[in-house]
Structure 1
Amino acid sequence: MTRAILQDDAGGTPADSLPHENQPHENLGTFQDTSSDSSALVHRFPWAALLIMALMGFLLIATETMPAGLLPQISAGLDITEGTAGQFVSAYALGTVVAAMPAVAITRSMRRKPVFVVGILGFLAANLVTAFSADIVLSLAARLLAGAFSGLLWGIIAGYARRITAPEHAGRALAVASLGTPVGLAVGTPFGSWLGTTWDWRWSFGVLAILTLLTVLLAVFLVPDAPGQHAGTRVPLVRVLGFPGVAVVLAVVVTWMLGHNILYTYIGSYLRSTGLPLPVEIALMVFGAAAIAGIAITGGVIDSGLRRLSLLSLAAFIAAGVIIIVGHASAAAVVTAIVLWGIAFGGAAAQLQTAISAASGHNADVANAMLGVAFNLAIFAAGVAGAVMISNFDGLVLPAVMAGLAAVALLFAIAGRRTAFPT
């Protein structure tokens, strides 16, 4: 079956050898290239290519979140209010939400490497404009464009990683390719803020542009090509949403990430409410280090136990929220809870990408674009909801909301035992 499907993707055997579109779980190895180089490649784990994808993920996360730590500098540099400077984050998220699905849908038949390289180049151009622009309208347009290319890249990275990896290591490949998310949160944003504070906020975007240029060069030389989606397996976006399990995974994404971002974005408000001598920077660094450990754990077991891993991660989120509430007077308890929270979050992206890729089969790129939109909607909603909460309640309400939303996500995951998170 695998060989027949691979030949069909390369234009060899008839389309009727492919799995039916309503059987998305069948043989996730259908994404492999069949050139002689690619055939050899899938039998060894493509560390270099996956780490380059992880580096790109790091840059996407750092670019998205970094302005939050540079609002005073951006405000002074462009002679605008901090509220207007805050739209650097909103414009990026809006670009991702609006462009992700159309961009992935348009490019899903194209070979993966050219799309990946063009996406990186577009992202590079947007960061360069942001670094040099003196006009707020042009800067926001550049951020919108950066978000659009980010949506395209997030949409294809998961499927691309699976295409160049042997099927039995698909989950592990996603765990490695997803490593950039926790590293970006742990290192990228604080480092960018330090650069902007020490030198100038434009240096932060300049360094990101330099790193993006390095990434595209590495991608050209070290990332193998892979075929796009075969015409016989492409279905309309609405029908992908209707695949058994896809909507369930998206519901888990929205509730899980909404709860996470409500506390993560406003963790400073929570820490001020506790009165503990725990700086926000230290708390975020502990979280990021724990998240990297979570990625390592996920990479080791995801291919053999996705369902158990996802349920345990959600349960750990609930436990962390409870500990953060109950133990708010103890620094040791809070740090312990942050470590548990970070470990559970670290593998979340890989777990969710693996689940939605399995549920959508050949249409994994489109499904992952939907997942990226869901992530960004959760980030946007968390910013609004969290602001309302801290304006009307004590910061201790935030972990309670996180735990409650994680519990809802856990119920969704349990209900998806047949299609979304199968046993």
Structure 2
Amino acid sequence: MSTSSATALSPFRAWLGVAAITASLFVFVTTELMPVGLLTPISASLTVSVGIAGMMVTAYGISAGVGVPFIVAWTRKVNRRMLLAVLLAVLAIGNLVTALAADFALVLAARLIMGFVHGVFWAIGVAMAMRLVPEDKASKAAAVVLSGMSVATVLGVPLGTFIEDLTDWRTTFLIWSGLSLVAFLAVVAAVPSLPSRSAIPVREVFQLPVKNGRLRVVMFTVALYVLGHFGVYTFIRPFMEHSASVSAALITGLLIVFGVGGAVGNFIAGHTVNKNMRVTFIVACTGLVVSLLLLLAIGDTIVGLAVAVVLWGVSFGAANLCQVNMMLAAAPDTFEAAMSLNTMGYNISIALGALLGGLFANNFGLAGAVWFGVALTAAALLATFGSHRDAARSSAEGDLVSSS
């Protein structure tokens, strides 16, 4: 995965570049999540309902998924360092516009544009970090970058809410505009030139899953576990309140524990995925299934909730790192294009997971949403076993043909 320019870097310079990309991921994800804790003051200030204000999150997520394959393909000849710098500049301007906007329409437009650049970052950012270091360190670089998502998940909503309590919601976005600028400067200073090398035209992007059976299986498997995870995670607060009658403060604490667990899972998988990627993913998916079953079995106690949430966070963090490496293994020569499709599928799966989980919760109670998650994560596990058997059968048939 490394380039000749990357291997020429000193270890310090290489990991400094990885740190700059990790900081970029942090500001992207916190920008995405912050409105969740600010909907009430934003809706009051801009005279819209809380439900309408929630479109700040929805629009961001939709644009992050739908636009990415096209933008990555259209910018396929742009140096990736320059492209990342532009993405961060747009993020800084978008947060500034949000902070100064006089009406909600302008805020929503800014969020839509920021969502597009967020999706592009997911397609190129992890790949850039993996190119900066020697090939045997690529998985660790990916783990470091993805830890930025875990930290952002832990801090995004509570930090935004805390700053708003001290000042106001506009100051919160103004500060994030400044942080986006800091990340921009870090990328300019620390990330070396990285010419684009694996992006392809739009028409070829959407042909990849048709031509590449292994990629198709990976995308299907990722969609299954993401559907299952978010089908439950979207409703975790009401589940906790209903099953164990926990306070809002304790729920916040458990969600922080979940985020920390995700960082731990990234770290562990970063050490094991190179040794055996398939086993690492199987263990992660098994952990997802078991953690959701524990929610149903012992989630009516605080200790039971804590155990389930810790295992859930660790497993989800490990699975997320595995899926990046699985995409690379399936499409090494078209990694950015494959990641753009994966980003689109991932975001669509988040939206569908929340929708389908809600349908199960409405019709079968909150436990129904958890059972939905169990079924989908178990299906991802079975798909992994099935794909291995198919690969083994194809290999055996190939050996038979060659021997004859």
Bigger Cα displacement from structure 2, 105-114 vs 146-155 = 105-114
Is residue 214 from structure 1 mapped to residue 182 from structure 2 by the alignment? yes
Question: What amino acid is the match of 1:110?
Answer: V
Shift of 1:230: 6.3
Distance 2:178 2:326 in 1: 34
In the alignment, is residue 236 of structure 1 matched against residue 204 of structure 2?
A: yes
Aligned-partner Cα distance in 1 for 2:348–2:335: 20
Is the aligned partner of 1:313 residue 2:275? no
- Please tell me whether residue 354 in structure 1 is matched to residue 325 in structure 2: yes
Question: Which residue matches 1:246?
Answer: 215
Does residue 364 (structure 1) correspond to residue 335 (structure 2)? The answer is yes
Q: Distance in 1 between matches of 2:18 and 2:105?
A: 36
2:402 alignment counterpart: none
Please give the secondary structure, in 2, of the residue aligned with 1:46. helix
Distance in 1 of aligned mates of 2:232 and 2:62:
21
Output aligned runs, 1:115-154, within 5 Å.
115-154=83-122
Among 146, 169, 174, which residue is 2:142 paired with?
174
Distance (whole Å) between structure 2 residues aligned to residue 101 and residue 44 of structure 1: 33
Unaligned runs of 5+ in 1: 1-28
Letter in 1 for 2:235: Y
SS in 1 for 2:196: coil
- Structure-2 change in CA distance of 1:82 and 1:420 (3 Å): farther
Deviations 1:269-314 (A, max 9, x none): 1012113335320110111111111111111112112111101000
What is the 5 A alignment of 1:209-358?
A: 209-229=177-197, 236-242=204-210, 243-277=212-246, 279-358=250-329
Distance in 2 (alpha carbons) for counterparts of 1:316 and 1:246: 24
Q: Aligned to 1:184, which of 152, 155, 160?
A: 152
Shift in alpha-carbon separation, 1:370–1:232, aligned structure 2, 3 A: closer
Secondary structure, aligned partner of 2:21: helix
CA distance in 2, matches of 1:254, 1:321: 17
Q: Deviations over 1:296-342 (max 9, x none)?
A: 11111121121111010000000001111011222111110100000
> Does structure 2 conserve the Cα–Cα contact (< 8 Å) formed by 1:78 and 1:136?
yes
Give the aligned residue type for 2:306.
V
Preserved contact between residue 286 and residue 338 of structure 1 (Cα < 8 Å)? yes
Residue 331 of structure 2: SS of its match in structure 1?
helix
Equivalent residue, structure 2, for 1:97:
65
SS of corresponding position for 1:416: helix
Q: Which region of structure 1 is more displaced relative to structure 2, 181-190 or 384-393?
A: 384-393
Q: Confirm or deny that 1:164 pairs with 2:132.
A: yes
**Structure 1 residue aligned with 2:372:** 401
CA RMSD of aligned residues (A): 2.4
Query: How far off its partner does 1:418 sit?
Result: 7.5
> 1:372 is matched by which residue type in structure 2?
T
Q: Which residue of 2 aligns with 1:106?
A: 74
Would you say the 8 A contact 2:74–2:201 is kept in 1? no
> 1:88 offset after TM fit, Å?
0.3
Q: Which deviations, in whole Å up to 9, do the C-alpha atoms of 1:392-417 show, x marking residues without a partner?
A: 34222232221111001112222233
Taking structure 2 as the reference length, the TM-score comes to: 0.90
Structure with the largest fraction of helix: 2
CA contact (8 A) 1:270 1:398 kept: no
What secondary structure sits across from 2:67 in the alignment? helix
Mean Cα displacement is larger for which, 78-87 or 55-64? Answer: 55-64
Indicate if the aligned counterparts of 1:172 and 1:303 stay in contact, CA closer than 8 A.
no
**Whole-Å separation in 2 of the counterparts to 1:307 and 1:184:** 27
What is the alpha-carbon distance in structure 2 between the residues aligned to residue 360 and residue 233 of structure 1? 15
**Residue 82 and residue 233 in structure 1: after superposition, are their counterparts in 2 closer, same or farther (change >3 A)?**
closer
Deviation at 1:158, TM superposition (A): 2.2
Q: 1:15 — aligned with what?
A: none
> 2:105, 2:337 → 1: CA distance?
31
Structure 2: tracts of 5 or more residues without a match: 396-404
Matched, 1:65 2:33: yes
In percent, how many aligned pairs have the same letter?
28
Aligned to 2:359: 388
1:8 corresponding residue in structure 2:
none
How much does 1:139 deviate? 0.9
Runs of 4+ in 1 over 6 A off after TM superposition: 42-45, 230-235, 418-421
Shift of 1:204: 2.4
What is the CA distance between 1:44 and its match in structure 2? 7.2
Structure 2: distance between partners of 1:361 and 1:377: 24
Structure 1 residues 100-130: Cα deviation after superposition (integer angstroms, max 9, x where no partner): 1111111223221111111111121111111
Q: 1:232 to 1:288 in 2, by over 3 A?
A: closer
Contact 1:88/1:140 (8 A) holds in 2: yes
Could you tell me whether the CA contact under 8 Å between 1:75 and 1:82 is conserved in 2? Answer: yes
**1:14 counterpart residue number:** none
The residue identity in structure 2 corresponding to 1:258 is L
C-alpha distance in structure 1 between counterparts of 2:222 and 2:350, whole Å? 11
**Letter matched to residue 254 of structure 2:** A
Cα drift, residue 389 of structure 1: 3.5
Q: Which moved further from structure 2: 95-104 or 198-207?
A: 198-207
